[in-house]
Amino acid sequence: MTKVIQKSLKTDLPELKPGQIVKVHQKIIEAGKERIQVFEGIVLDVHGGQGIDGTITVRKDSFGVGVEKIFSIHSPNVAKIEVIKEYRTKRAKLFHLRDPLQLKKFLKGKEVTKKPAEVGSSSGGEATIPKTPAPAAVAAAKDSKAPEVKKEAKK
């Protein structure tokens, strides 16, 4: 029994939490043809964790109408799940976001920012932060380029 379960478990799933904006790529079969349909929305509920019976409830507004779908995360009909954004939450179940005013408040600036360790990666395990030129160097570069452009325009 456990061998059958291990075969059907997906290993490439992201860590799913309530408050994330996700894209769920779902396989749809119509008239003998198979296609992928993307459902993008906010995760309201994660039930069953990452186990074989794990599900997520995703909600989106489509043309002014709220649409909720429950996806079994290990289903063969779910091609992949992408996390787009992540918001901080204080609750495990976000069903209060069904109210449009509550959703508007929730999305108003609780976005999680990436830590410096996540900006770059190196083999030593230390964070590499991309280097930006000093403001004085940028100003000097702009000043040196400006006269050249003016001289060429006069010729």
pLDDT at 35: 94
Rounded to an integer, the average pLDDT of 126-152 is 52
Question: How much is the pTM?
Answer: 0.65
How far does CA 98 lie from the centroid of its chain? 20
Name, in order, each residue with C-beta under 8 angstroms of 91's C-beta and a sequence gap of 6 or more. 18
Range in 101-105, 116-120, 128-132 the model is least confident about: 116-120
- Give the integer Cα–Cα distance in Å for 29 and 19: 30
End-to-end CA distance of the chain: 83
Q: What is the pLDDT of residues 10-64, one digit of tens each?
A: 888 888 889 889 999 999 999 999 999 999 999 999 998 878 888 999 999 899 8
Other Cβ atoms within 10 Å of 11 Cβ, number: 4
CA nearest 41: which of 54, 63, 57? 57
Distance of alpha carbon 86 from alpha carbon 18, whole angstroms: 9
- β-partners of residue 65 are 62
**What does the pLDDT read at residue 27?**
93
Question: What is the predicted pLDDT for the residue at 12?
Answer: 82
Q: What is the mean pLDDT of the segment spanning 62-82?
A: 91
Write out pLDDT tens, residues 100-112.
888 888 877 677 7
CB atoms under 10 Å from CB of 6, counted, come to 9
**pLDDT band (50, 70, 90) for residue 122:** very low
Q: Tell me if 44 sits within 8 A of 58, measured CB to CB.
A: yes
Integer CA distances (angstroms), 79 to 26, 40, 50, 88, in order: 6, 14, 16, 27
Strands ordered across the beta sheet of 55-62: 65-72, 55-62, 33-47, 20-30, 78-86
Kindly report the average pLDDT of the chain as a whole number: 77
**Residue 154 has what pLDDT?**
54
Instruction: Please state, in angstroms and rounded to a whole number, the distance separating the CA atoms of residues 45 and 94.
Output: 7
Domains in the chain (CATH in brackets) are 2-114 (2.30.30.790)
